[in-house]
Amino acid sequence: MKKNYIVVGTCQRLLRQVLVALRSAMDANCVVIGGENTRNLKWSSLCSKNYVLNIERHAGPDDDERFTSLLHRLARILPDAVLIPADCEGTRAINRVKPRLPDMHIVPHADHSTLETLDNKWRFFQFCSANSITVPDTLYIGPKAALNYAELAGRFGVPFVIKPVNQAGSTGVHVVHDEAFFNDTILANDAYQFDSLIAQKYIDGTDLCFNFFAMDGEISAFTIQQRTGSTVNFLSHPLLEQLGRRLARAARYNGVMCVDARVEAGTGKVYLIESNPRFWASLGASVWCGVNFVTESIEKVRRHHAPRTITSGMFNERHPVLRPTAWTSALFDGGARGRILRAQLRDLPVVSSVVISVPKMLWKYTARRAARISATGNARLSSNGRGAVQ
């Protein structure tokens, strides 16, 4: 018998990650409640139905009433459905209407206060500083008119970082190396408009991510990962694990979270850069390597033994269509990995966009290869010429 899940969110990429994780674990019937950006999920076989509503943080009482009414209707037609917020907007929407929700299972997630603290880069800095969690020196700016290059360079040195407090996916984040870049890209750029900005000390080093699921601040599953191109590698890093556990306990956190961190070159000191109190875009990598954070959330089991984790392994995030080595597994693997690949291949909107991009990728590859061959040939001719003159 299929199990029923209602996945809520506005970020199409994160919704897809959650849907693939569900399909890799079980025969799931998934319904999506999303916004305008998720409309083309109606063409995907990952979900049986896609409802488009206004569930953004600016949603009004009428929008929330439509959302609540839809959940009541789905609760009647989908027995024992589990409600899963895929992103921060999905969590906000559920938190807003929670007192009016039907009797429905909801996976653990951040409450309103915790979400608004950890999903805001300035408040995250303040929270970590108050709890002795290492973060880069940070200054609240507000509107960009308050930016002053000389003052920021004097405080942080160069380079330093400018970023909005409430954007995701590196939107609006700039590493400032000189005043000309600062003026052209930020101050004089009319397209660079955000409500509130922060400035931050730049940490030269290596990026890592600490991903976890926790109940009441106690972590029951975690992974540490590093990205290299399209490859996600899993590793062990005790110092980052220690900081991540301290963050979860200080917040008494419930649910999943992805924490961006940087290991400083030369010193090995670990800094937490920002937190994402939601599922993350590379979720499929941990599912592939053995930890499914979606099913961890559904089970809600507080583990009294060692948490589930991954200390090694890798995953290539390129679509299976572009990885011939994955085709055999997609056809014949009856386990979770085979189900992940088949779920990705059944997602028709993504498959079509990938197929359309193949000729362009081949053209770019051919052009780069021709340029390398030409450059190598010219270098040989030049070298032979110098040898003849000598």
Q: List, run by run, the mean pLDDT of 10-residue segments along the chain (390 residues).
A: 92 95 92 93 91 89 95 93 97 95 94 97 98 97 95 97 91 95 94 94 97 96 95 97 98 98 97 97 95 93 71 92 87 88 83 69 61 63 47
| 314 C-beta neighbours (distance < 10 Å), count | 15
Tokens read off for 281: 């875009």
Question: How confident is the model at residue 321, as a pLDDT?
Answer: 87
**Residue partners of 256: CB distance under 8 A and separation at least 6:** 211, 212, 213, 277, 278, 279, 293, 296, 297
- Rounded Cα distance, 354 and 356, in Å: 5
Query: How many separate domains does the chain show?
Result: 4
Rg (CA), the chain: 24
Residue 124 inside a domain? The answer is no
Q: Are residues 153 and 90 in the same domain?
A: no
Question: How confident is the model at residue 377, as a pLDDT?
Answer: 60
Q: Are residues 174 and 143 in the same domain?
A: yes
Residue 113 inside a domain? The answer is no
- Identify which of 227, 151, 146, 216 has the alpha carbon closest to the alpha carbon of residue 186: 146
Place of tokens 């340029």: 371
Residue 56 inside a domain? The answer is yes
Q: Are residues 146 and 222 in the same domain?
A: no
Q: Are residues 340 and 358 in the same domain?
A: no
**H or E, element range at 215:** strand 205-215
Q: Are residues 337 and 275 in the same domain?
A: yes
Residue 281 inside a domain? The answer is yes
- Rounded Cα distance, 94 and 254, in Å: 14
Q: How many CA atoms lie within 13 A of 110 on its CB side?
A: 27
Q: Are residues 314 and 371 in the same domain?
A: no
- Identify which of 260, 157, 137, 164 has the alpha carbon closest to the alpha carbon of residue 209: 260
Residue 118 inside a domain? The answer is no
Tokens read off for 369: 């290869």
Torsion of CA 77, 81, 83, 86, to 10 degrees: -100
DSSP code per residue over 318-340: S-GGG-GGGHHHHHH--SHHHHH
Collapsing DSSP states into helix, strand and coil, what is residue 108?
A: coil
Exposed, middle or buried: residue 86 (CB in 10 Å: 0-12, 13-18, 19+)? buried
Residue 46 inside a domain? The answer is yes
Q: Are residues 87 and 35 in the same domain?
A: yes
Diameter of the chain by CA atoms?
A: 88
**H or E, element range at 346:** helix 336-346
Residue 130 inside a domain? The answer is no
Which residues share a beta bridge with 222?
A: 212, 309
What CATH number is attached to the domain comprising 59? 3.40.50.2000
Q: Are residues 91 and 9 in the same domain?
A: yes
Q: What domain range is 179 assigned to?
A: 137-201
Q: Are residues 210 and 310 in the same domain?
A: yes
What CATH number is attached to the domain comprising 294? 3.30.470.20
- Identify which of 10, 18, 21, 5 has the alpha carbon closest to the alpha carbon of residue 339: 21
Question: How confident is the model at residue 283, as a pLDDT?
Answer: 96
- Identify which of 97, 120, 43 has the alpha carbon closest to the alpha carbon of residue 16: 43
**H or E, element range at 140:** strand 138-142
Q: Are residues 236 and 255 in the same domain?
A: yes
Question: How confident is the model at residue 344, as a pLDDT?
Answer: 87
What CATH number is attached to the domain comprising 147? 3.30.1490.20
- Antiparallel, parallel or unpaired: β 138-142 and 197-201: antiparallel
Q: Domain boundary at 51, 86, 106, which? A: 106
- Rounded Cα distance, 71 and 289, in Å: 34
Q: Are residues 25 and 100 in the same domain?
A: yes
For residue 307, the 8-state DSSP code is P
Cα first-last separation, the chain: 82
Q: Domain boundary at 201, 231, 254, which? A: 201
Q: Are residues 189 and 276 in the same domain?
A: no
Residue 125 inside a domain? The answer is no
**Alpha carbon separation from 210 to 25, 94, 207, 253, 280 (Å, rounded):** 23, 25, 10, 14, 11
Strand order in the sheet with 197-201: 138-142, 197-201, 160-164, 174-176
Q: Domain boundary at 88, 106, 124, which? A: 106
**Residue partners of 330: CB distance under 8 A and separation at least 6:** 320, 338, 341, 342, 345
